[in-house]
Amino acid sequence: MNFQEYIVNPETSIREAVTKMDKGGEGFLAICQGEKLVAILTDGDFRRAVLTGVDLSNFVLTISNQKFVFLDTTDKDKIDEVFEKIPINHLPIILEGKLERIVFRHAFYEGSVKSERLFAPAFRDSPVVIMAGGKGTRLKPYTNILPKPLVPVGSKSLVEHILEKFRVYGCSNFYLTLNHKAAIIRAYIEQLPHWRDCVKFVEEEKPLGTAGALHLLKGKLSRSFFLTNCDTLLLADYGTVYKFHISNNHSITIVGAVMNHKVPYGVCEVDKNGGLIQFKEKPETDYIVNTGFYLIEPNVLDLLEPGEVCGMNTLIHKAQESGLTIGVFPVMSHQWKDFGDMVHFQKEIQGFPVERRD
């Protein structure tokens, strides 16, 4: 294993560390002073930092866990014992005061009889609603011919990438809300052997907005369900999103990507008389941007009226006014693939190679 993928020094900024964590793909970093492990950072630490408003230019050590679980042996039985007793996904092995290796839970159990039991998601029976009824005007000229869900990304359509991501977690109960070019989408899905039996179609008689079509599913959704735009792909751990939603008793959880904006100029902060308070050189600001990916409780659908045109923003405001709890689950910017307009689409498709399909 190349430890450099997962190691940063204590003086690394949170923003830099999170970028490296994202590239490593394990939601984990080791904070090392030389060869000595002094702390660990997980994606959970990052989310807590964002939700409490921590400045992401701070040193990563300020949000890291300096009291972490580790072993001083590579004995497999000891490793298994730790994973059985403690709900952690990363176990550092320290020998003679030096970081020897990092054991990742999923890799340790891969192919074993315990694997399915340990990683079976609690939400595998949760319905998934994909909003696929829009005209996709921001993706013209592609959508002059194809409906947005069928625009190709690599060797598959957008909607197939979304379906396959959920299938990894065992989800098999899908609803597609349709309007624009509904017949084409329906015909395409129905000729796909992997999907025609697990995808149901909900067709609007008229465009109802990004949330209005959910009223057509009232009575069909009896448990927490995922809702996603058909032009967004989330690469985060859906199990962690679900756990956050359930443990906080939220009615709606919005998945938001942490985006950084850097002003390329010096910025003057002034008082009401035009006097200079302070001068900031190229300041940076972090925002949590709505990705169009949600977890929702069925009772939220009671807020919708039959035939009502309603966007997700409006539905969220209605839920807040009704006293329902709304949560925000932050993810790293690289965990969100946005295909909603031509600029983002051209950028994101670079990571999806074209493969031959029989």
Q: What is the pLDDT of residue 345?
A: 63
**Gap between the Cα atoms of 310 and 254, Å rounded:** 17
Q: 142 is in which domain, residue-wise?
A: 128-351
Nearest to 172 by CA among 121, 219, 218: 121
Both tokens of residue 139? Answer: 């993706």
**Residue 358 within any structural domain of the chain:** no
Burial class (CB in 10 A: 0-12, 13-18, 19+), 346: exposed
The SS3 of residue 95 is strand
Verify that 185 and 98 share a domain, yes or no: no
Q: What is the pLDDT of residue 108?
A: 78
Verify that 234 and 186 share a domain, yes or no: yes
Verify that 171 and 31 share a domain, yes or no: no
- The whole model's pTM is what? 0.82
Residues 195, 124: contact at Cβ < 8 Å?
no
Verify that 134 and 107 share a domain, yes or no: no
Tell me the CATH number at 137. 3.90.550.10
Q: What is the pLDDT of residue 358?
A: 47
**Amino acid identity at 212:** G
Tell me the CATH number at 69. 3.10.580.10
What is the tally of structural domains in the chain? 2
Q: What is the pLDDT of residue 250?
A: 97
Verify that 100 and 144 share a domain, yes or no: no
pLDDT in tens, the chain (358 residues): 566 788 898 999 998 888 888 777 788 899 998 888 999 998 889 889 888 888 888 899 999 998 988 988 888 889 888 888 888 888 999 988 888 888 888 777 776 656 555 555 677 889 999 998 787 677 677 677 778 888 878 778 889 999 999 988 888 899 999 988 888 988 989 888 888 788 999 988 888 888 888 999 988 998 999 999 988 999 888 988 999 999 999 999 999 998 877 888 888 888 888 888 888 888 878 889 999 999 999 999 999 988 888 999 999 999 999 999 999 999 888 888 887 656 666 666 666 655 545 4
